[in-house]
Amino acid sequence: MSSEVIGRLITDFNNLNEKCVHLVEENQNLKQQNQNLLQENQILKEKLQEKDKQFERLQERDKQYEKLEQHVKNLEKQKSEELQQLRQLEIISQNLHNNLGILGSDKNDNTDGEQKNDIKITGEKNEFSTNKNDGHNNLGIHASDKTKKNDIKIIEEKKEFSTFLTSNKNEQTNHIMDKPPTLSLNNKDVNNSSEYFLNFFDTKKNMEKSKLYSNILVVIGLDFGSISSAFSIYRVVEVPNSSNYSWRLKDTSLEYDNDYSMVVDNSFLKYVYNVVELFKLHLGGLPDNLKPKLPIEYKKAIADYLKGIGKDIKKEIAGWSGVNYFENVLLVLTVPAEYSEKDKDIMRECIHNAKLIKNKSSEKLQFITESEAAAIYCTKNELQKYNLLFIGMTFIIVDCGGNTTDITTLTLLDNFAS
């Protein structure tokens, strides 16, 4: 090869080498730029994630603010309702003072020729939640205008509130009632079980009128509560070797063995066995999500508990001469006013399964609402005892239980016969 050719080749090689060097440098620059872009992209991602987190926090705060705003509205509404109730109570209190003055001036105008009376009970109910023990407390507040009519009409406004409570273990005490309260009423048409119960206590009249109850010697009053229960025994006629009796308050709970086939009656082993309680809450209008979870069917628990109470009742009257439980005993069970006919039928089924009545349709079992029973007792005893019973008066019954509190407002449109 000539020297010229070799020179050109060397020149071309050098040029190519320079281009290659430039390309390598450009490639390095591009790599550096790419690295910088990746870093910037990572920084932007982190900033975006932080923005997303801030946005989520803002959304959560908005939700909390909405909840707080709704809670404030609820509190304002509750405050308004409570203020309205306070105004109503102030009006009742004012009327109470006014009518006490009227009572004092009219006290000497009463005569012995008072007409016989009927009680009519009508009701309106509203429900709301609270926490109380199952000891039943009655509070009477009265006020009214002075109006004379021929019937007793009890107008009932009922507010009920529900909640779950821890069981407050009550001291078990018993006492003898020498003269239990009775109520004499003159109802011609008896259309429900509560009125059957009221008429029954006018013993002499009903013994003549009713063949159904002609052989009743003893009445059992049973208060079956969700936290605790009790019963009382009342003699309609004198029974040898007997006395009226009010049983001690007993927890409405059961202790079962391991397979829930048998009730264990041993308080010392209570924490060893399976405790079942609050089973009464499966009756009534409580939503399913608020009903307690039970390891057994609630009807079985109710029947097992009532069977235990039945043993105590039968043991108490076993020594009473001439008294046959299924022939001579009337069982009266108090139930909440909101119980439907279905609820009462379930209670009747459980009482039958507990061997407290001979057959499910037995008329030896009658129901009375708790509000009616409290109103009758308050009217016939406490109000009358303190000479507070007069035409047109209004009073309030407050029944504080373990899971519900019932408030009943009643107006007396005619006084009881003396």
Owner of token pair 């007997």 = 242
Quick one: which of 395, 376, 389, 396 has its CA closest to 418?
389
The DSSP secondary-structure symbol of 293 reads P
74 in the same domain as 191: no
Q: Is residue 130 part of a domain?
A: yes
Tell me the longest C-alpha to C-alpha distance in the chain: 159
Among 109, 140, 171, identify where a domain stops.
Answer: 109
335 in the same domain as 213: yes
Among 84, 109, 134, identify where a domain stops.
Answer: 109
Q: What is the pTM of this model?
A: 0.50
Q: Which residues of the chain have pLDDT under 70?
A: 1, 99-211, 239-248, 265-273, 403, 414-418
Q: What is the pLDDT of residue 261?
A: 77
Residue 83 structure tokens: 């203020």
Radius of gyration of the chain (CA): 39
Judged by DSSP in three states, 244 sits in coil
Task: Please give the Cα distance from 155 to 142 (Å, whole number).
Answer: 13
Burial state string for 216-237 with b = 16 or more CB within 10 A and e = fewer than 16: bbbbbbbbbbbbbbbbbbbbbe
66 in the same domain as 47: yes
Judged by DSSP in three states, 137 sits in coil
Q: Is residue 418 part of a domain?
A: no
Q: Is residue 29 part of a domain?
A: yes
Q: Is residue 81 part of a domain?
A: yes
Q: Is residue 147 packed enough to be buried (19+ CB in 10 Å), middle (13-18) or exposed (0-12)?
A: exposed
Q: What is the pLDDT of residue 202?
A: 52
167 in the same domain as 75: no
313 in the same domain as 338: yes
Number of domains in the chain: 2
Q: For residues 312 and 257, is the Cβ–Cβ distance under 8 A? A: no
Q: Is residue 241 part of a domain?
A: yes
Q: What is the pLDDT of residue 104?
A: 52
Q: Is residue 142 part of a domain?
A: yes
Task: Please count the CA atoms within 13 angstroms of the CA of 30 that sit on its side-chain side.
Answer: 6
Q: Which amino acid is at 210?
A: S
231 in the same domain as 293: yes
205 in the same domain as 81: no
Scanning 275-323, the segments in alpha helix (DSSP H) are 298-317
Q: Is residue 417 part of a domain?
A: no
Residue-range definition of the domain harbouring residue 154? 117-411
152 in the same domain as 80: no
Residue 366, strand partner residues: 332
Quick one: which of 11, 103, 138 has its CA closest to 387?
103
CATH of the domain at 371: 3.30.420.40
Among 109, 130, 157, identify where a domain stops.
Answer: 109
Q: Which amino acid is at 374?
A: A
Q: For residues 339 and 372, is the Cβ–Cβ distance under 8 A? A: no
Q: Which residues contact 398 (CB under 8 A, 6 or more apart)?
A: 137, 138, 139, 405, 406, 407, 408
103 in the same domain as 79: yes
Task: Please count the CA atoms within 13 angstroms of the CA of 416 that sit on its side-chain side.
Answer: 17
Q: For residues 400 and 411, is the Cβ–Cβ distance under 8 A? A: no
Angle at 122 between CA 117 and CA 127, to 5 degrees: 145
233 in the same domain as 155: yes
233 in the same domain as 362: yes
Task: Please give the Cα distance from 225 to 176 (Å, whole number).
Answer: 22
Q: Is residue 416 part of a domain?
A: no
141 in the same domain as 23: no
Q: What share of the chain is helix, strand, coil (3-state, %, to 5)?
A: 45, 20, 40
CA 275 → CA 93, 230, 249, 290, distances in Å? Answer: 46, 20, 18, 19
Cα torsion through 316, 319, 320, 321, rounded to 10: 170
